[in-house]
Structure 1
Amino acid sequence: MSSVIAQPPGLRERHHHNIVCEPCQHTIRFGMCTRSSFSVSVGTRKRDQEVTMDRPDAESAEGATGTVSSVGIARLAGVGRAAVSNWRRRYADFPEPVGGTPTSPSFDLAAVEQWLTAQGKLPEVSGPDRAWREIAAASDGPDLGGALWLAGLMLFHRSVGSDATSSVPAPSSLAASVGRVNRAAEELFRSELPDSWLPRHLTVLSAAAGVAGDPVETFERFYALYLRARGAASDYVTPVRVARLILSLTDIATGASSPCRSVADVMDLACGTGSLLVEAVRGGGGVRVFGQDLDPTAACIAQVRLMLTSKEQSAVIRVGDSLRADAFPGERVDLVVSNPPFGLHDWADDQLAFDPRWEYGGLPPRTEPELAWVQDALAHLRPGGQAVLLMPPVAAWRSAGRRIRGELLRRGVVRAVVALPSGLLPATSVGLHLWVLRRPADGQVADRVLMVDASRIEQATAEAVIELAVPAWRSYEREPASVDEQAGLVKLVPVIDMLDEEVDLTPARHLAVSDDERRDPTELLASGEQVLKQLREVAASLPTLLPVEQPAMSEVRALSLDELVRISAVGIFRGHSRLSVDAEDVSEPGVTGGDVVRGGGPSGRAPGTAVRIEAGDVLVPAVGSSVVARVATAEQIGVRLGQNVSLIRADPARVDPWFLAGMVTAPTNRREATRQASGTRDIVRVNLKRLQVPLLPMDEQRRYGEAFRRLVEFDAMLDKAADETHRLVKELSAALTRGSLVPESSA
């Protein structure tokens, strides 16, 4: 298929060739038109605000070149913005700004690339990677997502053979080429495209159009590089492994064992960039595909991905709040899959009180937005249709949702609940749940619920969860009695047993930890003596601490970790986000944020290029509900730094690691981190360099460090003793109920 933009011979793949801007028929140099007046960037509502550029004279137009900001330079070189600022200070030959403002200068792109190449800071790449380098350099901050879907539109335009000329299509022409295949998609893009192109848009379009090869593969590479650039900031992205886990429990995956069920229509209520819908289509589901998301950029990315994935499917993506403004009222589908946002505070209003979607127990309380997503999903299902939703664990037991959970159980909607290991989703270290629901058809009311507790498995990966949960689910779908129950992991629970005062859907509550209920009474009493001994050891391990009238740290000067880095007292290394590397790059065991919290061995994967953890390293999860810092355990030493973990490596002659770990978690540092928490999910993204550490002599540091070490040891011993105590109490109570143990006689 011919390219939209023909490249003259003798030029490198970089797009420094001349093409024609369709709106004004002016020659574009370096991917930019400098003659037209342009309005508003991709991704903003063009009618709400107008931004106009003055037309330069012809002389300046002839000499115009592409420009790039400091952020764009950082993306080109794969470094942070601080490195670019450092280069500008250190190197006299660094290119001077050619525009912008003193606080936000712009630089000549060609000059910057030449300087980076001469300094050996710009690795040579080709094909999609080189095109993406130009796209990223032209797009700052949130605009990167808009640049991604605009590049995807150009690739789609090329893939359907809409234009064999060398011109860049006008926005209306680009939308029209989409409309010839998908009218609904044309409507979405017309609402988001500008009236005419800005220079950076033209850079994106020419870069995308100049890549040879399959447009689908090119865009998937762009998308992977986008995720790598965004990292953990991509909150509206469901990782591919999690998407495949969710789809593994749907009728798409179990179609072979359930031939009577076919999945013609699929919907995602909060589709983000479309990962669940794309995986559903690739799995063979969805003649019609529906998605909605509040974020216009995410919705447009999802639409492009679906159009490029399959032109046979009719994909309709809409922008908006699914709960407050359902884009598909009355639409019924075979399957709903979703990873909806948790913890929304202002989702409900008076107008929703009489919404027909609240069929199961009425309008959810304001504190139960997750149950609103559940009811929204069920309202869009045909009889017999299925929904699989990723849910926070609190939705399974919170008292405010008891009425609705009870109604879901009584009417046979809840089919399975799967508790997941912590850390599967980059945005949270909490172990989430999967709720598998089905809208009952005539005579298909479930009287038992499949409970799977995958949070207990040793390998906390999506693949391990699939290996445990999918066989049980398929057996349940064929014949519930055929489920192979596993103590502590898999169990069928009668609905009637769950309809108590709490209506708790948490798998751990309904799964027996073991088959020890019938242990010998003498052995049980011996276990009691052992637990008492363990508790005495725990008490003895608590360090001796003395009170003082004046707080010891009140007059001590503190330095930020950033300042400690500058004086080489510590070094900071960052692990990858699961979104930031390709699946094939993640080849070795890696320590995750969840591993740091638990103090256990590696449960994740990491690139072979990731830093290895050494003795004395302090590990800090990059995201979580608070600041956590732990000195690396014996199981973690020698392992690669994994997903969403930062590492502080101290000079042992200047900073004691146990002192450092303790001081990093000081209340003042926790408050500093909390100020950076998300307003909807209360997730802290730890900015290590801003955290403060007091300056003490080394002997004092070691004294404090030893106290911190013993406190950590005390905490671990207490946790272990608590587990043993709870287990013992449960077993002793069971023995009393059976009569194998009796109370001591008062006589």
Structure 2
Amino acid sequence: MSDQLLSPTNIAELASVSRPVVSNWRRRYDDFPEPVGGTDSRPLFSRDEIISWLTARDYTVTTDTVTEIWASLNVLRGVMEVDEAEILILLLFGIRQYLPDEFDEIASAPVDGRLPLLAAAEAELRGLYPIDERNRAALRLDLADLLEDVSPAAITPLLTAIGSAAVGRIAEYADEIIGRFSRSDRFGNVHGSVEAGSSALLAALVRDVEGTVYDPASGIADALLQVSAHHRATSLVGSEISPRALTIACLRTMLSGVNVSFTLGDVLAEDPVPGLKADAIIAEPPLALRIDPTEMLADPRYSHGISSSLGSELLWIQHALAHLAPEGRAYILTSHTVLRRGRNEQDIRASLLTAGCVEAIVSLPSRTLTYTATAPALWVLRNPGPADPVLLIDAREVTDPQNVIPSWLGGDRIDAPHARVDITALLAAGSDLTPAPWTGVRDVDPAAIRAAAIDSTAALSAIIGEMAASPLTPLGLDGLPEPQITTVGKLLEMKVVERVPSRMGQAPEKDDPCVIHAKHLRDQSLPPQCENPTLNSPEETEPGDVLLSTIHGTHAMVDWDGDHRVSLSVEHLRVTDRSALAPDYLALALTGAWNERFRVDSTLSRIRLQDMEIPLIPLADQERVAALLTRIRDIQAQASRLIRLGDNARAGILDAVRHHVSL
């Protein structure tokens, strides 16, 4: 029997079905395997038992190496941190590829004898890291500490899964695993994600460079690996402040067979490559990183000036300029704030403009960076020279920046609002380099304006017809019994409902796309499900959980699919006795106007959950009421769509008038 345990998500992947289907199996079939581990909210099942159950019902069992490796981590949930598990997997991948005999020895050794063998293999593998000896020592992994709380047998499934991986595809498997970690852990995004769009853009910008490419904020080396895929650069150099990110970068580049020279350290505080001159420099540095400017006053790299403690982005720009070869170019991503913020930063921008160092600024689309929705800006920099006009491009509406922006900067026709602005005009405007104010109104397509006006008007007419054709049926609620008025507090005491706490009292990451916020409840539209469960077993939603927000209005809805995370501003309730209370009825009753009398006026006006009243009626009557109110909610959604389409039709007609387009 294997030691591998499967979560419901793993089972869904194995059977090629959705997660809710697995939940239905558990409810419908008495012979569905019982959990053998985990918790009530995060059960784990025996892989062998699940496969036997699926096979007996003629389901096709789909297995792949990445899924097997990911599932093997289930036994480590709550024992290892996410970053520790990620490092462990990459380390084992590296040993498997570079030290195959040592890997086999570790895998076949008695479980109590593995740690010394693993430590010896880590030291030998670290000797191959593409970094100098001093920094290499700083990347040492303390495996005794890493595995302190891990049962010696717990890594057996992981060793088995990695041992079965095809050696020629280990780099591919490693990147897929890192991608899964990145989607469930903000760290992976801040320090780079696998095949990120921002990395693809930076790599595309230097795809024809045949010399040295330097990334001073290389993270997990995603941009440098994408540069290497173009097979033109002769030398790749990276610097990184995080030992963990640099360890991942070393292992990724080694597994991929790409030669990169890395340095470890705080680039802004001390130049790690003082003699380097690069033909191209790319960087996606952290935004708004706090610094101590007093420690940098004597640094010759920052000749254009040092601003406030939040002015790190302009220091990255100056660091790049200090390392450009004579004909080199630097491509740096920053926030838009840096383009226009006043005081000291205005003076630095003016100095850069006067020196002729700014060749172009491009506003990029939101979500270009994986860890924030904030739209970044791309700086194109050159060595000091004539102060030629600066090319400003507003590419916020571009869907494929990595495919078009390099050619635009190379001289091709620019299909986005743009302008070449003289230095004197920019200086007179406070050195504001934000493209939008300078690029004006974009050329319009009369045919597109006409089509938009006609289509939006037709859509408006269609929904008016839909609403007229589906009126609200008679209420049909005669004979409802008198309700028993209870409170959520009493339902909690009776264990009809439970209050699901947020993970360890901590808020999920702000930019995690699968987190339910109050705005989702207001809009009655949930975000996408989480793609992968995290190792620390956060209390993600289960199908049928009720979400509630009482901040500045009361909004509630049922999450019928599950697999979401919940922000601290949202109450997370689970109906544990559905024979007494239907989740959709609870969600609707929570929004009853009678509960407004419990609202407490404060900075955040809200209602105490335990005080909220629920009018209990028999389950069948709950379902009748819920069906009627759901129909009314659908009509409200149609009305909202009607308003939106009316706005579109209005805007389309005004555009036609503005641009003299005949309708």
Same fold (TM > 0.5): yes
The change in CA–CA distance for 1:496 and 1:628 in structure 2 (over 3 A counts) is farther
Counterpart Cα distance in 1 of 2:88 and 2:421: 50
Tell me what 1:44 maps to.
none
* C-alpha contact (below 8 Å) 2:211/2:235 kept by paired residues: no
Counterpart Cα distance in 1 of 2:355 and 2:392: 18
Shifted more, 332-341 versus 684-693: the winner is 684-693
Tell me what 1:469 maps to.
405
Match of residue 113, structure 1, among 47, 67, 74: 47
* C-alpha contact (below 8 Å) 1:412/1:445 kept by paired residues: yes
Deviations 1:276-303 (A, max 9, x none): 1211122235544333444433322222
Counterpart Cα distance in 1 of 2:282 and 2:519: 33
Structure 1 residue 420: deviation in Å? 1.7
| Matching of residues 161-172 of structure 1 within 5 Å | 163=101, 166-168=104-106, 169-172=117-120
* C-alpha contact (below 8 Å) 1:419/1:433 kept by paired residues: yes
Structure 1 residue 167: deviation in Å? 1.0
Deviations 1:386-433 (A, max 9, x none): 221222222111113211111111111111211122233343333222
Counterpart Cα distance in 1 of 2:283 and 2:421: 25
Counterpart Cα distance in 1 of 2:413 and 2:267: 38
What is the aligned length? 500
Q: Secondary structure at the match of 1:354?
A: coil
Match of residue 407, structure 1, among 335, 351, 369: 351
1:356 aligns with 2:300: yes
Matched to 2:34, the amino acid is F
Structure 1 residue 363: deviation in Å? 1.1
Tell me what 1:94 maps to.
34
Q: Secondary structure at the match of 2:254?
A: helix
* C-alpha contact (below 8 Å) 2:358/2:381 kept by paired residues: yes
Match of residue 260, structure 2, among 281, 292, 314: 314
Tell me what 1:272 maps to.
219
1:437 aligns with 2:365: no
Structure 1 residues not aligned, in runs of 5+: 1-13, 17-65, 256-261, 476-482, 517-555, 569-592, 595-619, 671-683, 732-747
* C-alpha contact (below 8 Å) 1:335/1:386 kept by paired residues: yes
Counterpart Cα distance in 2 of 1:669 and 1:332: 59
Match of residue 340, structure 1, among 270, 274, 285: 285
* C-alpha contact (below 8 Å) 1:371/1:395 kept by paired residues: yes
The change in CA–CA distance for 1:293 and 1:232 in structure 2 (over 3 A counts) is closer
Tell me what 1:302 maps to.
249
Q: Secondary structure at the match of 1:365?
A: coil
1:249 aligns with 2:185: no
* C-alpha contact (below 8 Å) 1:280/1:286 kept by paired residues: yes
Tell me what 1:420 maps to.
364
Tell me what 2:165 maps to.
211
| Matching of residues 61-80 of structure 1 within 5 Å | 73=7, 76-77=10-11
Tell me what 1:509 maps to.
437
The change in CA–CA distance for 1:231 and 1:395 in structure 2 (over 3 A counts) is closer
1:494 aligns with 2:422: yes
Counterpart Cα distance in 1 of 2:642 and 2:239: 46
| Matching of residues 5-44 of structure 1 within 5 Å | none
Tell me what 1:131 maps to.
69
* C-alpha contact (below 8 Å) 1:175/1:186 kept by paired residues: no
Tell me what 2:391 maps to.
450
Q: Percent of counterpart pairs with the same letter?
A: 21
Q: Higher helix proportion, which one?
A: 2
Q: Secondary structure at the match of 2:250?
A: helix
* C-alpha contact (below 8 Å) 2:301/2:318 kept by paired residues: yes
1:696 aligns with 2:592: yes
* C-alpha contact (below 8 Å) 1:392/1:433 kept by paired residues: yes
Tell me what 2:329 maps to.
386
Structure 1 residue 514: deviation in Å? 4.1
The change in CA–CA distance for 1:686 and 1:451 in structure 2 (over 3 A counts) is farther
* C-alpha contact (below 8 Å) 1:185/1:317 kept by paired residues: no
Q: Secondary structure at the match of 2:69?
A: helix
Structure 1 residue 323: deviation in Å? 3.1
Structure 1 residue 162: deviation in Å? 6.2
Counterpart Cα distance in 1 of 2:348 and 2:163: 52
Counterpart Cα distance in 1 of 2:296 and 2:487: 52
Counterpart Cα distance in 2 of 1:630 and 1:438: 48
1:237 aligns with 2:192: yes
Matched to 2:261, the amino acid is A
The change in CA–CA distance for 1:452 and 1:139 in structure 2 (over 3 A counts) is same
Q: Secondary structure at the match of 1:280?
A: helix
The change in CA–CA distance for 1:114 and 1:186 in structure 2 (over 3 A counts) is farther
* C-alpha contact (below 8 Å) 2:279/2:324 kept by paired residues: yes
Counterpart Cα distance in 2 of 1:173 and 1:466: 40
- Please report the TM-score for the alignment, with normalisation by the length of structure 2: 0.60
Structure 2 residues not aligned, in runs of 5+: 13-18, 107-116, 445-484, 498-509, 532-540, 556-565, 574-586, 594-624
Counterpart Cα distance in 1 of 2:293 and 2:642: 46
Counterpart Cα distance in 1 of 2:410 and 2:119: 48
Q: Secondary structure at the match of 2:306?
A: coil
Structure 1 residue 505: deviation in Å? 0.9
Counterpart Cα distance in 1 of 2:551 and 2:185: 29
Structure 1 residue 669: deviation in Å? 8.4
Structure 1 residue 330: deviation in Å? 5.0
The change in CA–CA distance for 1:420 and 1:141 in structure 2 (over 3 A counts) is farther
Deviations 1:700-732 (A, max 9, x none): 99699969967995999599889979x98xx9x
Greater relative contact order structure (CA < 8 Å, 6+ sep): 2
Counterpart Cα distance in 2 of 1:336 and 1:624: 39
Matched to 1:316, the amino acid is F
